Structure 1
Amino acid sequence: MLKKINTRNLQLGMHLHELCGSWMAHPFWRSKFTLTDAEDIRRILDSGITEVWIDIAKGLDISGATLEEAKRSVTEVLVKAERVPGVEAHTPASMSDELRRAAMICAKARKAVVSMFQEVRMGKAISAEDAGELVDEISSSVARNPGALISLARLKTADDYTYMHSVAVCALMVALARQLDLDQQGVREAGMAGLLHDLGKAMMPKAVLNKPGKLTDGEFHIIKNHPVEGHRLLVEGKTASDIVLDVCLHHHEKLDGSGYPDRLAGDSISLFARMGAVCDIYDAITSNRPYKVGWDPAKSIRKMTEWCKGHLDERVFQAFIKSVGIYPVGSLVKLGSGRLAVVVEQSEKSLLAPRVKAFFSTKSQTHIVPELIDLSHPSVTEKIVGREDAAKWAITNLDELWAT
């Protein structure tokens, strides 16, 4: 039976069902667990959260509570439960507005995934349901402006790759699912699968996982076991859906049967696993890794187009391009005038005409006053003539340019 109580009445032995208030204020990655450590109560009080839901069927009740109070609490939570997570309308936001919110979500999400991986390494079972709030927050951001959180999550350090990769793939899966016109449940399943697809890496030796150089055949064999380990962990948690389990196990399969762990081919690979493969590869090659610097987003799209045949589902990949753009946010492009510009936002009118920020003249080889240009506007004659390599022009602040 569920009951809402003031956080001042929390006691060890109570089973938390939900922390009230904004998810951003929550001090934990999950909200359903039994309080066994006084430090956890202190963290809740310090967070500013004033009320929580407890489940008195799974833990201690508040002393002196009456049956009528309990009945009122149950009625309140049942009314709340009628609202389906993630289906409320999300007002579209500009890139600049959503970047601020997305930065906070990324920071919170990183801590949440770090905590999740730590619990796995400590032998604790992971409940997929507990990640629901995190998936909902990421989904809401993507609904308001898909480019913001996806682009910020790409700016991970090599040390943060394992954790922020999960966040980035979650966001990419949500955006792709929306592009494929999946229903709300399908979008949420895709996001959950993206967040948990690499859980098995928590069981990989850190020396191998974070190795700065090329892996030996033996080390690669170890890493290739992470889908199986992740699947095992989620099965033990007993709450992951068949879709989440499938993506975790099969996001490294290839259409020609050369993938792993089961060497599935063609129609044996589900739609969601095909989606997971595309999103996983894109974030991997655009991110800085311990052994290499990430590629420019536009270069990554071009490379994936070359790899697509035999490896990736072409229909899914085309939908993915529509969701992130032919020139994704952060891409360095050359305009017809000879100016270099960085892509700052996609246009609903054309994949070839995003909003860009021109900042460099290739003719004078000097930086110029930055100018925002909507290439899709009827009065604009500028157009993209190709992508450019930042290193060629000694440009080192590209990410600062699009993110500010």
Structure 2
Amino acid sequence: MLKRIERRNAKLGMFIHDPHLPRLDRWVGGFLLTTNQDLERVQRSNLETVVIDTGLGMDVEDYRASTTAPTVWLQSESHIDLLGAAKARVRALFADARLGVSSFDEADSAVRAIYRSILADPTALIEMSRVKDDEDDLQRHSMAVSGLMMQFAEFLDLAPPTVQVLGVGGLLHDIGKIYLSSDILAKTAALTEEERNAIALHPQRGHDLLAQDPTMPELVLDICLHHHEKLNGAGYPHGLKAGEISLAVQIATLCDVYEALTSKRSYKPAWSSADALSSMSQTLDYFDEELFNQFRLFVKQTFFNQDTKNTAACL
């Protein structure tokens, strides 16, 4: 819920949403007040009021009622708690999709929850993908790609509204796979031609589902329909080539492939970042080379400490 408050009432733990306030960091649609320095900058600004998002941070009433310091409140919501909240929103979103319902607003809310978990721990989503648990593989992959796309888009210094929509595109890119049987999705043996043809339909089927919502951004539809296109024209469903594939789709493709390689699946173990990037570097006719180099730097900066030895080998 968005609420406008007087600037002097801003407190640590609040999520500042107001787009007119100069960004204190460069995350999606605003930022969480976590330091006294950021709080002072807000309170010294020339704005009389600011907008807070009470769904992503503390409310004025929460602060007044609390007997605990805001910094303790921030620490009390661990990345595990935040990730659990994001999972719950995504499960509800995918349950609706299986009933034939698509909603940009619901997807946008889920992406904000994913962002909040990233804010607490930038590596949480990738680490989640490397561990097999009871979470649906498709939902886990979609969450991780969403988070990766937002982080990479921010690394590229794209505008916050674009970063937010890219996050939605990442979350919904594989939504068409809800129409595939679990046997196909989890199959460890080679796929039959019939099964490959069924999988190749998922971008179009996902696009058709999402297009039922007239508020669904074109960028999200583009990502869903074209995330398997390759710059050399060997992708599907339309065989697009370089110059025909948008930057948004290229970002989605890089993040999709990287996440798939580094995640644990029923048919393969999780690869290291180094192995994934090495494999991707052998197929640069699929990707824009300059964008791939930026992606490699982004991985080094964001996940280097998670896999220092192996990542250093290829970076």
Partner of 1:310: 285
Structure 2: gaps of 5 or more residues = 4-14, 20-27, 36-73
Task: State the 1:104 CA deviation.
Answer: 2.2
Q: For 2:252 and 2:293, how far apart are their aligned partners in 1?
A: 14
Q: Which amino acid aligns with 2:286?
A: H
SS in 1 for 2:309: strand
For residues 308-367 of structure 1, what are the alpha-carbon distances to aligned partners after superposition, in whole Å with 9 as ceiling and x for unaligned?
Answer: x21012222222222221864542627xxxxxxxx8xxxxxxxx5xxxxxxxxxxxxxxx
State the alpha-carbon separation in 1 of the partners of residues 76 and 234 from structure 2.
Answer: 39
1:83 partnered with 2:58 = no
Partner of 2:42: none
Task: Say which SS state the counterpart of residue 282 (structure 2) adopts.
Answer: helix
Deviation, structure 1 residue 90? 5.5
SS at match of 1:254: coil
**Secondary structure at 2:31 match in 1:** coil
CA-atom RMSD, angstroms?
3.0
| Pairing of 1:108-127 with structure 2 (within 5 A) | 108-123=85-100, 125-127=101-103
What letter corresponds to residue 87 of structure 1 in structure 2?
G
Cα pair 1:158 1:290 within 8 Å, conserved: no
Deviation at 1:198, TM superposition (A): 0.9
Q: What is the percentage of aligned positions where both structures have the same residue?
A: 34
Amino acid at match of 1:117: F
Q: Distance in 1 between matches of 2:254 and 2:266?
A: 21
Q: Give the Cα–Cα distance (whole angstroms) in 1 for the partners of residues 297 and 130 of structure 2.
A: 18
Alpha-carbon displacement from aligned partner over 1:357-401 (angstroms, at most 9, x marks no partner): xxxxxxxxxxxxxxxxxxxxxxxxxxxxx48xxxxxxxxxxxxxx
Task: Name the residue aligned to 2:202.
Answer: 226
Secondary structure at the aligned position of 1:322 is classed as helix
Alpha-carbon shift at residue 99 of structure 1 (Å): 12
Matched, 1:255 2:231: yes
TM-score of the aligned structures, taking structure 1 as reference length: 0.57
What is residue 212 of structure 1 aligned with on the other side?
A: 188
Where 1:237 maps in the other structure, the secondary structure is coil
Partner of 1:106: 83
Shift of 1:133: 2.2
Give the SS at the match of 2:190: coil
1:172 is paired with a residue of what secondary structure? Answer: helix
The change in CA–CA distance for 1:314 and 1:157 in structure 2 (over 3 A counts) is: farther
**In structure 1, what is the Cα distance between the partners aligned to 2:275 and 2:30?**
35
Structure 1, unpaired ranges of 5+: 1-17, 22-79, 335-342, 344-351, 353-385, 388-404
CA contact (8 A) 1:165 1:283 kept: yes
Pick the structure with greater CA Rg: 1
Flag the 1:108–1:273 CA change in 2: closer, same or farther, 3 A: same
- The match for 1:273 is 249
How far the C-alpha of 1:160 sits from its partner, in A, is 2.8
* Contact residue 16 and residue 30 of structure 2 kept, 8 A: no
Higher RCO, Cα 8 Å, sep 6+: 2
Q: 1:142·1:149 contact (CA, 8 Å) conserved in 2?
A: yes
**Cα 1:286/1:165, change in 2 over 3 Å:** same
Query: Aligned partners of 1:321 and 1:98: how far apart in 2?
Result: 31
Deviation at 1:126, TM superposition (A): 1.1
Task: Indicate conservation of the 8 Å contact 2:90/2:110, yes or no.
Answer: no
Deviations 1:13-45 (A, max 9, x none): xxxxx6x99xxxxxxxxxxxxxxxxxxxxxxxx
Q: 1:332 to 1:217 in 2, by over 3 A?
A: farther
- For these two proteins, the number of residue pairs brought into alignment is 256
In the alignment, which residue of structure 2 is the partner of 1:357? none
- Looking at secondary structure, tell me which structure has more strand per residue: 1
Q: 1:115 to 1:210 in 2, by over 3 A?
A: farther
> Could you report, residue by residue, the CA deviation over 1:129-160 in whole angstroms, capped at 9, with x for unpaired residues?
21222212322443565334443344344863
* TM-score where L is the length of structure 2: 0.72
> Could you report, residue by residue, the CA deviation over 1:220-253 in whole angstroms, capped at 9, with x for unpaired residues?
1101111111100110122210111000111110
Question: Contact (CA 8 Å) 2:166, 2:220: kept in 1 or not?
Answer: yes
2:129/2:263 contact within 8 Å kept: no
